[in-house]
């Protein structure tokens, strides 16, 4: 099995993604997670670019104990007409004290003339001098040929000469970069093959996603001879992003049989992808291949029916091998098979001979017609199905609610909620203030139930979204409210729909709390059965 090196540049290229700003702690955490997976190289940043980059390399030298990965410092070739030994950028690379360094240089004559504004000959000297100097200082050097594919298309002879200058000076790997992200896949394959015939060196690939071909281009480059792939987790990067290693790695391993990460590590891929997203303060994309929440979600009744008979009918790989899971979505497009499968997934028993599945399907279709949507709000779906399948155990009964929003003379806006609840034969009357009416309602409800159900103290509202369903109706339009709640172990979504935003929110909150109690009841039963 041929080994393909994985080179991650999330901490440097990924940091250029709009909306991302890593702290030193963030970078340390992500580097640790990548090391756990066994990524070969972790590009930590550009030392000397700013104080935070320098702080990271100091912190990494002190406390980042990598077990499998190699930390890499990134920089450029020396400046025009400067000496390598006195160049500030190269000195910064040495100061980072990493054994491995990557430098980029110009391989497109357009950039040499229009950007560097120097001669083609001087650019070749900049490359060879920089690589040679770093090698003499004991560093393992990789050379990123910036804009290589564009340069090769316009002046192949000169583009190749930049690679030869780096290789002859001692670069251990030559990385071909599609920096503008506009090269099509077929040309990437052809060019990599042609370079391999001209250059006796270890080749790598670094692609951007401006034409949405970064992953395909990286795969094609490997098939054409590259042995290193550079990219970022979740495809973070400048403009449209970099090649997404989270998609590339399982494709290389399971589709083409290359050795890149262990099968054990690949089972942690989904968790690692979400960890990097969370640490980057970015929302994890549901539609992301392999690891997204929707990657193995099945909605149409025909699809669900087929997948229950044979997984391969609508899944290109088993979700388990990348640490993901199959999901059966329930909507107006569902059929009886979908309802039966979802009930089983939720631990509910529906007799095939009964008409309960059809009744649930009809109710779902009616509710979705009125604005409900259960694809995200699976906790509300579970409550609906439980009410249809089992005798509902009511943990509490709402007797009365009231919400007051008051603007005081000092300009402050106060939201106050009053809730009257009956639970375990006790009547509770609770008042709470909140940052808004929904927050006040949530606090009042949980406060009133704490005496009977202490575990509710662990629960809190973590997200809230509202969508107007019929914009033409103006202020009389129905709204759909989605509420995310979480406790120490889980998070879940519930939904409510009404012309009144408070009522819609209240419906979602009621489902959320009931779901919490049912979940806790199941946990207690499992623990009791285990004893």
The whole-number average pLDDT for the span 408-426 is 86
Residue 338 has pLDDT above 90, yes or no: no
Note whether 468 and 354 are within 8 A (CB): no
Residue 332 has pLDDT above 60, yes or no: no
The whole-number average pLDDT for the span 261-278 is 94
Q: Give 17-43 pLDDT, tens digit per residue.
A: 999 999 999 999 999 999 999 999 999
pLDDT at 363: 83
Residue 209 has pLDDT above 70, yes or no: yes
pLDDT at 334: 63
What is the distance between the alpha carbons of residues 195 and 315, in angstroms, rounded to a whole number?
A: 37
Considering only residues 71 and 364, tell me which one the structure prediction assigns the higher pLDDT: 71
pLDDT at 144: 98
Q: What is the CATH number of domain 5-279?
A: 3.20.20.70
Least confident of 134-143, 228-237, 429-438: 429-438
Residue 128 has pLDDT above 60, yes or no: yes
Under the banding of pLDDT at 50, 70 and 90, the label for residue 439 is confident
Q: What percentage of the chain reaches a pLDDT higher than 90?
A: 60
pLDDT at 467: 86
Residue 443 has pLDDT above 60, yes or no: yes
Q: How many helices (H) and strands (E) does the chain have?
A: 18, 16
Strand 413-423: give its sheet, edge to edge: 397-407, 413-423, 426-434
CATH 3.30.160.740 assigned to 396-452: yes
Least confident of 84-93, 133-142, 514-523: 514-523
Residue 248 C-beta-side C-alpha neighbours within 13 Å: 34
The whole-number average pLDDT for the span 168-189 is 98
Under the banding of pLDDT at 50, 70 and 90, the label for residue 474 is low
pLDDT at 303: 74
pLDDT at 352: 66
Q: What percentage of the chain reaches a pLDDT higher than 70?
A: 95
Name the H helices within 348-416.
356-369, 378-389
| Buried b or exposed e, range 26-45, using 16+ CB within 10 angstroms | bbbbbbbbbbbbbbbbbbbb
What is the distance between the alpha carbons of residues 330 and 378, in angstroms, rounded to a whole number?
A: 9
- Asked whether this chain's domains 5-279 and 396-452 adopt the same fold, the reply is no
Under the banding of pLDDT at 50, 70 and 90, the label for residue 122 is very high
Contacts of 142 (CB under 8 A, 6+ apart): 72, 100, 101, 102, 103, 171, 172, 173, 174, 175, 204, 228
Residue 108: burial class (beta carbons within 10 Å; 0-12, 13-18, 19+) = buried
Least confident of 224-228, 519-523, 526-530: 526-530
- List the chain domain ranges: 5-279, 297-369, 396-452
Least confident of 58-67, 367-376, 439-448, 465-474: 465-474
Token pair 């623990």 is found at: 527
Describe the crossing of helices 24-37 and 51-63 by its angle, rounded to 10 degrees: 50
pLDDT at 188: 98
What is the distance between the alpha carbons of residues 320 and 197, in angstroms, rounded to a whole number?
A: 40
Residue 531 has pLDDT above 70, yes or no: no
Angle made by CA atoms 125, 130, 134, in degrees to the nearest 5: 150
What are the residues facing 41 on neighbouring strands? 7, 70
Which helix (H) or strand (E) covers residue 466, if one does?
strand 460-468
pLDDT at 336: 65
What is the distance between the alpha carbons of residues 426 and 414, in angstroms, rounded to a whole number?
A: 29
pLDDT at 16: 94
Q: Which contacts of 463-466 are long-range, i.e. CB under 8 A and separated by 24 or more positions?
A: 464/438, 464/505, 466/501, 466/504
- What sign has the CA pseudo-torsion 252, 240, 32, 463? negative
């Amino acid at each position: 099995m041929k080994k393909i090196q994985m080179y991650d540049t999330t901490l440097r290229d990924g940091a250029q993604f709009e909306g991302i700003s890593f702290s030193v702690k963030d970078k340390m955490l992500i580097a640790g997670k990548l090391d756990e997976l066994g990524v070969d190289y972790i590009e930590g940043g550009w030392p000397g670019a700013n104080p935070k980059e320098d702080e990271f390399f100091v912190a990494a030298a002190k406390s980042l104990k990598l077990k499998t990965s190699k930390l890499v410092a990134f920089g450029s070739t020396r400046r025009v007409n400067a000496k390598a030994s006195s160049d500030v950028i190269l000195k910064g690379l040495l100061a980072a004290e990493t054994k491995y360094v990557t430098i980029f240089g110009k391989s497109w004559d357009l950039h040499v003339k229009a950007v560097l504004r120097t001669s083609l000959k001087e650019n070749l000297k900049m490359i060879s001098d920089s690589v040679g100097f770093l090698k003499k200082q004991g560093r393992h050097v990789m050379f990123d040929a910036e804009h290589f594919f564009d340069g090769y298309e316009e002046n192949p002879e000169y583009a190749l000469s930049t690679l030869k200058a780096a290789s002859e000076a001692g670069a251990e790997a030559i990385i071909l970069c599609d920096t503008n992200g506009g090269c099509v896949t077929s040309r990437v394959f052809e060019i990599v093959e042609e370079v391999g015939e001209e250059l006796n060196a270890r080749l790598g690939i670094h692609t951007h996603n401006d034409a949405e071909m970064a992953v395909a281009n990286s795969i094609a480059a490997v098939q054409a001879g590259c042995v290193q792939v550079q990219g970022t987790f979740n495809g973070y990067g400048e403009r449209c992003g970099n090649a997404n290693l989270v998609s590339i790695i399982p494709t290389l391993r399971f589709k083409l049989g290359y050795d890149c990460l262990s099968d054990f590590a690949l089972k942690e891929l989904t968790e690692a992808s979400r960890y990097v997203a969370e640490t980057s303060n970015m929302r994890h994309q549901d539609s992301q291949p392999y690891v997204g929440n929707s990657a193995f979600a099945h909605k149409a009744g025909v699809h669900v029916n087929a997948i229950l008979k044979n997984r391969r009918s609508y899944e290109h790989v088993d979700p388990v091998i990348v640490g993901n899971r199959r999901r059966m979505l329930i909507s107006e497009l569902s059929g009886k098979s979908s309802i039966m499968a979802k009930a089983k997934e939720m631990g509910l028993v529906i007799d095939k001979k009964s008409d309960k599945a059809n009744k649930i399907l009809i109710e779902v279709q009616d509710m979705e017609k009125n604005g409900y949507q259960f694809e995200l709000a699976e906790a509300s779906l579970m409550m609906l199905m439980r009410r249809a399948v089992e005798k509902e155990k009511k943990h509490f009964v709402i007797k009365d609610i009231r919400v007051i929003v008051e603007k005081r003379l000092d300009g402050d806006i106060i939201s106050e909620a009053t809730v009257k609840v009956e639970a375990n034969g006790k009547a509770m009357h609770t008042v709470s203030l909140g940052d808004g009416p929904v927050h006040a309602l949530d606090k009042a409800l949980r406060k009133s139930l704490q005496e009977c159900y202490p575990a509710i103290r662990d629960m809190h509202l973590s997200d809230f979204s509202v969508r107007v369903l019929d914009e033409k109706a103006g202020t009389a339009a129905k709204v759909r409210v989605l509420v995310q709640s979480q406790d120490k172990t889980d998070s879940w979504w519930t939904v409510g729909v009404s012309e009144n935003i408070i009522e819609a929110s209240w419906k979602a909150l009621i489902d959320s709390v009931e779901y919490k109690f049912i979940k806790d009841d199941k946990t207690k039963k499992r623990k009791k059965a285990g004893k």
